[in-house]
Amino acid sequence: MSNTIQIYILAIVSFLVGTSEYIISGILDSISESLGITIAAAGQFITIFSLVYAIFTPILMALTAGMDRRKVMIYSLGLFTLGNIFAFVLPGYELFIISRMIMALGAGMVVVTALTIAEKNASKGKQGSAIATVVMGFTASLIIGVPLGRMVSDVFGWKAVFAGISLLGLLAMVVISLTIPKTQGDKPVPLLQQLSLLKKPSVARGLAITFFWLGGYSVAYTYLSPYLLNISGVSDNLLSGVLLIFGIASLVGSKFGGFSTDRLGVRFTLISGMTLHIIMLVLLSLVTHSYVGVLIILVLWSFAAWSSGPTQQYHLATIVPESSGVLLGLNQSMMQLAMAAGAGIGGIFVEKVSLSSITWLGASGVAIAIVLATVASRSTSKKVGESNVVQNQDFKVSMRE
């Protein structure tokens, strides 16, 4: 089987995992009503998933670093599928929490292993596009998976979503075993050695940008479905279509972010994208019961939010180029921690303040990210300036000699 087909299989698996993670935000109201819990309590299912993903994925990947990657992928998919089966068959709030934790343990390993296999098995010179294809599968879960899950939930009930993911997970295990060749693991990088990068101020600042940017996004996105239904005035029969359009805008924004980074630079793309992000969150709180107005705001919000994704990935990869792989891995954990924090803090505000407060809270988080990005860009400019001064001095000395 060709390398290209193998890469697309890995992208489909990544899509499946992404759908399982993000689907909660699309069916939050259905879950809360079915389990007899508040919207805020239901939002904690995202917090729990993201925390387990962020904390345990680096540990599990370090422990399995030397194993055959195909075997790790199959075992991880099995764990992920088991979590989805439990979500379908087990009743009650507490048992669903356990199901989400099991899902997250498998999901984190599936995504990272898929990226590793894609990079190792891609044709020479095409490793970058192979990784991008797998990442695109994960992003596509926002575009197709969440609205599709909402449709399934409306017809068959929200638990049917996890039954469907379970069946697809079992199928994916069979397909992976038949199509993906054995792939040698790597020499493990000790976890403490990875974490030592956090001592660098530029690294800590870069990861903090990720935390506040995505945390601000997560605060609002986690509770998007109940917000649109109860605050914006979007009818239930239109919600799936709105979520689909929102997802498409995220894909366009991500593509534009990569293009703009190459053409206009990290600073402009990052700061302008996050500025538009804030403006749209504020406008979403002001514009209600206007389907066209709300839809335009959602499209621009999704576009702006995800335009920062590839830019921030590139920014982190250039901070410590010789450790770019480790840094991008740490960024994956930071993204999940941001999702967890956003969902958790957002839940507190929904319960203690109001559902309508989440847009302002999200905008505040992104504003902090802008401040950090501005400081980071000035620090980089200063270093470049100092480097140029040193080079000029060396040139003058050599001329005198």
Q: Where are the domains of the chain?
A: 1-187, 189-391
122 vs 239 pLDDT, higher one:
239
Rounded Cα distance between 214 and 362, Å, is 9
In this predicted structure, the answer to whether residue 188 has a pLDDT above a threshold of 70 is no
Cα 230 off chain centre by: 26
Given pLDDT bands bounded at 50, 70 and 90, which one contains residue 384? Answer: very low
In this predicted structure, the answer to whether residue 395 has a pLDDT above a threshold of 60 is no
Cα 395 off chain centre by: 46
382 C-beta neighbours (distance < 10 Å), count: 10
In this predicted structure, the answer to whether residue 398 has a pLDDT above a threshold of 70 is no
pLDDT at 360 (0 to 100): 95
Rounded Cα distance between 242 and 235, Å, is 10
pLDDT at 236 (0 to 100): 84
CA terminus-to-terminus distance, the chain = 63
Helices (H), 223-265: 224-227, 236-264
Contact 287, 234 (CB under 8 A): no
As its CATH architecture, domain 189-391 has Up-down Bundle (1.20)
pLDDT in tens, 302-311: 999 988 887 8
Fold matches, 1-187 and 189-391: yes
CATH of 1-187, one of 3.40.50.300, 1.10.760.10, 1.20.1250.20, 3.10.450.50: 1.20.1250.20
148 C-beta neighbours (distance < 10 Å), count: 20
Rounded Cα distance between 57 and 111, Å, is 10
167 vs 146 pLDDT, higher one:
167
Query: b or e along 164-191 (b: 16 or more beta carbons within 10 Å of the residue's beta carbon)?
Result: bbbebbeebbeebeeebeebebeeebee
pLDDT at 276 (0 to 100): 96
pLDDT in tens, 314-333: 788 778 776 666 776 778 78
Rounded Cα distance between 214 and 388, Å, is 35
Given pLDDT bands bounded at 50, 70 and 90, which one contains residue 161? Answer: very high
The tokens for 327 are 């840094």
pTM for the full model? 0.75
Q: What are phi and psi of 342, to 5 degrees?
A: -60, -45
